[in-house]
Amino acid sequence: MRLARDRSALFGLVLIALLVVAALLAPVLATHPDDVFELHPAERLRAPSAVHWLGTDRMGADVYSRLLFGARITILIGVIAVGASLIVGVPVGLVAGYYHGWFSDVLMRVSDVFLAVPQVVLAIAIAQTLGPSLPNVILALSATYWPWFARVVYAETRALQQEVFVESTAALGASPWRLTALHVLPNIASPIIVRASIGMGFTILTAAALGFLGLGPPPPTPEWGRTIAESREFLPDAWWYATAPGLAIFLTVMGFNLLGDGLRDVLDPRLRRSRAASDA
Amino acid sequence: MPELLSVRGLSVDFVTDGGVAQVLDGISLDVGPGEVVGLVGESGCGKTTLARAILGILPTGATRIRGGEVRFKGADLLREDPGAVNDRVRGRAITFIPQDPYTSFSPVFSVQTQIMDLMKWKSPRAGHGGAARSSFRRYPRERRRADRDAVLETLRAVQIPEPTRALRRLPHEFSGGQRQRLMIAMALLPQPDLIIADEPTTALDVTIQAQILRLLRTLVKERGVSVLFTTHDLGTAHEICDRVVVMYAGQEMEAAPADAFFARPAHPYTRRLLASVPSPGGEIRDIPGDVPSLIAPPPGCRFHPRCEYATAECREGRPPPRVLAPGHGVRCHHPVDAPMGADG
Amino acid sequence: MNAGAAPLLEIVDLVRYFPVRNAFGRRTGWIRAVDGLSLAVWPGETLGLVGESGCGKSTLGKTVMGIYTPTAGDIRFAGREIGHLPARARRAVARDLQYVYQDPGASLDPRWKVVHSLHEPLKIHTRLSRPEREREVGAILAAVGLPDAHLDLYPHELSGGQQRRVGLARILTLRPRMVILDEPTSGLDVSVQASVLKLFRSMQEAFALTYVFISHDLAVVRAMCARIAVMYLGTIVELGDTAAVFETPRHPYTRSLLAAVPRIGGRRVTLDFVLEGEPPSPRDVPSGCRFRTRCPLVQDVCAMEEPPLREVDGRAVACHFA
């Protein structure tokens, strides 16, 4: 596939693959799998060693193992939040794009309102109101991210309506359902996929921010953001405590962003190039 | 009588993703003083490329001029100093009317700004060389006034109503036909010897086209300006041209005075082309086959794969130019000697 | 053409306006694209609809097709009123009444293989099984002169001409009774145009089609259409047998239009051409007769009364002086 030629996208894919592997095989890969729940106060704040590859945290738990289990949380949050945003945002965008009356305007104005507020702030407000927990974080993130999907889908649907093949298939007698499901959606799939990939990165970052602020899942959940928050008072001595989750967040978000950029380059120009070839 | 423009053996290649396309293959063409020559051909034949090559505005990256010369008033434009060509010839001795009136003006400046900008550099009253090449040239007041008078007079000549008010307007306030009139005015103002018009009426309605063609022909005949007029529409060529040259796949096939061209065309392609114009009787004749790829064109005469008279020698080499009558030349091993009629 | 048969398509006083809105969205006027037009099309004929840009011929085609709904007036197809049908019923009419775009190749979804695009109309309108559909599609492909191998390709893998044939084939799978052709040869080279016209002719014979042929190219319309309607600013100004109209045009606009068409082998028409000015915008239609602002025969009555389309000797003309 052409994606393979894009080095940075490939790198992003590798990073994400690592994340997924870490999450799936956490119990196997972790050196101290029980440290998610157990406490070993005697071993607190040990530097990285042969036993504890990334050192221990303030409770004496193995940072490396908790990191792996934290990957599960990260993926869970990312997938569900982006998935929920997609499920809400795409239909809203489709409906607003297809119809042209006051109803579409209302839908898009509502999504504009959500977009106008900075995502982190809104997520904080929602999480604050509902209380810190994993489901609430996911809810807060979905509620703030769906307008991005709606907007992309709306713009693409409107643009597609101008295309001759859409108008002519409608003239052929195709119902709006058929048009939308079989013609519009497949043609706007690429921007949606790109947005989803970038959205994963953004969502994970915001989730980490919420965790950092204490609005995420409560301890002992090994969520990365919360781990960084915990590590603050022990810096700069216990540098491994903050660096490990920090680096993990960084690499994960970068991975999704690189993949998203690569996908965008692959999926869109190819369509344009093939259309241009048919004009010649 | 020395020709004003004389193209000899011009060959141009385009470098494309699929390979090197031989867009022009040894084209030769003449335009005499005060003569309107039509360059007729279907899409992809190279007529626009030829027009651009004469003007020297081919895209530099992907184009290669493989050989030939373009002699204008005796000097070879391809080999002269580019600065001098830009200053004296392009936009001055040779001007251009583009095809699409809707995209040939800048939408953000008034007509006045655009025309006076042209006059600043290319007015017949402007000097040559030296200071002319600096970007920050001065525009002396008396010359500006004289130029503006010339502009108003030319706008009246192209029948733009209320020229003074028209100047202040923006291009989008004019219709397509009016914009082409403006383009004609801009092509005439530098008092050129030759105007190259690239399908100037293709985008216009037929009644507007008739007005524009009549106007253009009247004006150039009045002023003794030659025109090289490219078109794919034979009817348009019939209306405005003194002589017609037909091109196919980068090669010129036949050149003749208009009457002879339409009444007794000699080249099989010309005859087929004329026959495919829909006739009132209702019979429709097309040309079998497809236009060849220019990346791997047929050897010799490029029309031979579709030609009913083709023989082995047509494949071997390009037929040499043959003169059938004064002014009537053809490049074919089997020119037809019969009037254009029922046979096609 | 069967004199006793009923018309296949009847358009009665059709009106289609588009609102003109200013920056605030308030309507400041109307574009009177189709402004009171009546027409009948008989089974098996090819009716030409000619006019220059802004005359409304394309809007007429699209309104008949249901792409636009009529602002007023009736459209009757095979005796049934179709202008104001509910959406689902209107979609069913597409089976019998179809529309070909200027570039039929563009009507194909670029992400669908040709075979799927060709099966689609049958899936929408019929309950044929897959083998039955395959049979139909195979027959149509052969009729338009395309090999079976093309079924497995994407539109961008075909040449422009082949795409055009696929686009046509797609419409023909429904075996419509009438096809509206909207500027089908616009922008085409003369030899390509000839191939396309031949294809239309053979399709008409093979499938017993009735055509409405919309074009601004008078030479093409003359070769293809037995009857012709000339449009100007939203109405028909002349209607009659093509040969007769071309020989003796009765409306001043028709005369000017025909006078503007170059005649190869004849005298240069531009030498005598007299029509000045440009057509008024459909936003600002002149009162009375629309053509009066450019008409050489204009009199006072022309500004006051709009001439109706009257029949004189088998020809319909809208002029006070025809």
- Taking only the tens place, the pLDDT of each residue in B322-336 is 999 998 999 999 999
**Residue B76 β-bridge partners:** B71
Task: Check whether C278 has a pLDDT greater than 70.
Answer: yes
Pairing type for strands C235-241 and C210-215 reads: unpaired
Segment C184-210 shows an average pLDDT of 90
Least confident segment among A149-163, B276-290, C278-292: B276-290
Contact flag C262-B177 (C-beta cutoff 8 Å): no
Q: CA of A164: which chain C residue's CA is closest?
A: C107
Least confident segment among A46-60, A154-168, A202-216: A46-60
Q: What is d(CA A138, CA A211) in angstroms, rounded to the nearest whole number?
A: 12
Coil vs helix vs strand at A278: helix
**B91-122 per-position pLDDT tens digit:** 899 999 998 888 889 999 999 999 999 888 88
**B190-226 per-position pLDDT tens digit:** 999 999 999 999 888 888 899 999 999 999 999 999 9
Q: What is d(CA C56, CA C16) in angstroms, rounded to the nearest whole number?
A: 9
Indicate the average pLDDT of chain A.
84
Q: What is d(CA A6, CA C18) in angstroms, rounded to the nearest whole number?
A: 49
What DSSP letter does each residue of C173-204 carry, written as one string? TT--SEEEEESTTTT--HHHHHHHHHHHHHHH
Coil vs helix vs strand at C264: coil
Q: What is d(CA B161, CA A92) in angstroms, rounded to the nearest whole number?
A: 52
Closest to A186 (Cβ–Cβ): which among C103, C111, C121?
Answer: C111
In which residue are the tokens 């007041």 written?
B141
Task: Check whether C126 has a pLDDT greater than 50.
Answer: yes
**B13-49 per-position pLDDT tens digit:** 999 888 899 999 999 999 999 999 999 999 889 999 9
For C181, the token pair is: 């052709």
Cα angle at A61 between A57 and A62, to 5 degrees? 90
Indicate the burial class of C288 (C-beta count within 10 angstroms; 0-12, 13-18, 19 or more).
middle
Measured CB to CB, residues of chain A less than 8 Å from chain C are: 163-165, 167-175, 178, 183, 186-187, 271, 274-275, 277-279
Peptide bond into A220 cis (omega under 30): yes
In which residue are the tokens 């919360």 written?
A226
Chain B residues with CB-CB distance to C261 below 8 A: 206, 235
Q: What is d(CA B142, CA B139) in angstroms, rounded to the nearest whole number?
A: 9
Chain C residues with CB-CB distance to B217 below 8 A: 270
Contact flag C124-A187 (C-beta cutoff 8 Å): no
Q: What band does C244 get if pLDDT is binned at 50, 70 and 90?
A: very high
Closest to C91 (Cβ–Cβ): which among A173, A274, A279?
Answer: A173
pTM of the shown model: 0.82
- CA A167 from chain centre, in angstroms, equals 35
Task: Check whether C313 has a pLDDT greater than 90.
Answer: no
At residue B129, the pLDDT reads: 58
Which one of B277, B291, B340 would you mutate to disrupt binding with C, by most C Cβ within 10 Å of its Cβ? Answer: B277
Q: CA of B283: which chain C residue's CA is closest?
A: C223
Contact flag B43-C189 (C-beta cutoff 8 Å): yes
Task: Check whether A270 has a pLDDT greater than 70.
Answer: no
Task: Check whether C188 has a pLDDT greater than 70.
Answer: yes
At residue C1, the pLDDT reads: 46
Contact flag C156-A275 (C-beta cutoff 8 Å): yes
Coil vs helix vs strand at C151: helix
Coil vs helix vs strand at A53: coil
**Residue B72 β-bridge partners:** B5, B75
Output the CA torsion sign for B50, B56, B59, B63: positive
At residue C7, the pLDDT reads: 92
Closest to A168 (Cβ–Cβ): which among C101, C125, C156?
Answer: C101
Segment B153-162 shows an average pLDDT of 93
Task: Check whether A25 has a pLDDT greater than 50.
Answer: yes
The alpha carbon of residue B306 is apart from the nearest alpha carbon of chain C, in Å, by 12
Please give the residue that has the higher pLDDT: either B256 or A238.
B256
Indicate the average pLDDT of chain C.
90
At residue B7, the pLDDT reads: 94
For C150, the token pair is: 């093309």
Task: Check whether A52 has a pLDDT greater than 90.
Answer: no
At residue B205, the pLDDT reads: 87
**Best CA proximity match to A148, nearest among A115, A123, A102, A174:** A115
What single DSSP character describes residue B32?
-
The alpha carbon of residue A196 is apart from the nearest alpha carbon of chain C, in Å, by 21
Q: What band does B135 get if pLDDT is binned at 50, 70 and 90?
A: low
Task: Check whether A273 has a pLDDT greater than 50.
Answer: no
Q: What is d(CA C113, CA C68) in angstroms, rounded to the nearest whole number?
A: 29
Task: Check whether C23 has a pLDDT greater than 90.
Answer: no
**Chain C from 180 to 209: CB within 8 A of any A CB:** none
Task: Check whether A157 has a pLDDT greater than 70.
Answer: yes
Give the list of residues 6+ apart from residue C244 with CB closer than 8 angstroms, or none.
C314, C315
Closest to C257 (Cβ–Cβ): which among B207, B272, B284?
Answer: B207
Q: What is d(CA C97, CA C43) in angstroms, rounded to the nearest whole number?
A: 12
Q: What is d(CA B78, CA B70) in angstroms, rounded to the nearest whole number?
A: 6
Peptide bond into C86 cis (omega under 30): no
What single DSSP character describes residue C248?
S
Q: What is d(CA C248, CA C315) in angstroms, rounded to the nearest whole number?
A: 10
Contact flag C109-A164 (C-beta cutoff 8 Å): no
Contact at 8 Å (CB) between B249 and B292? yes
For A208, the token pair is: 């980490």
Contact flag C110-A169 (C-beta cutoff 8 Å): no
Q: CA of C67: which chain A residue's CA is closest?
A: A171
Q: What is d(CA C103, CA C192) in angstroms, rounded to the nearest whole number?
A: 13
List the subunits that have 3+ CB pairs under 8 angstroms with A: C
The alpha carbon of residue B89 is apart from the nearest alpha carbon of chain C, in Å, by 31
**Best CA proximity match to A226, nearest among A99, A58, A96, A95:** A58
User: Which residue type occupies C146?
Assistant: L
ipTM of predicted complex? 0.83
Chain C residues with CB-CB distance to B178 below 8 A: 278
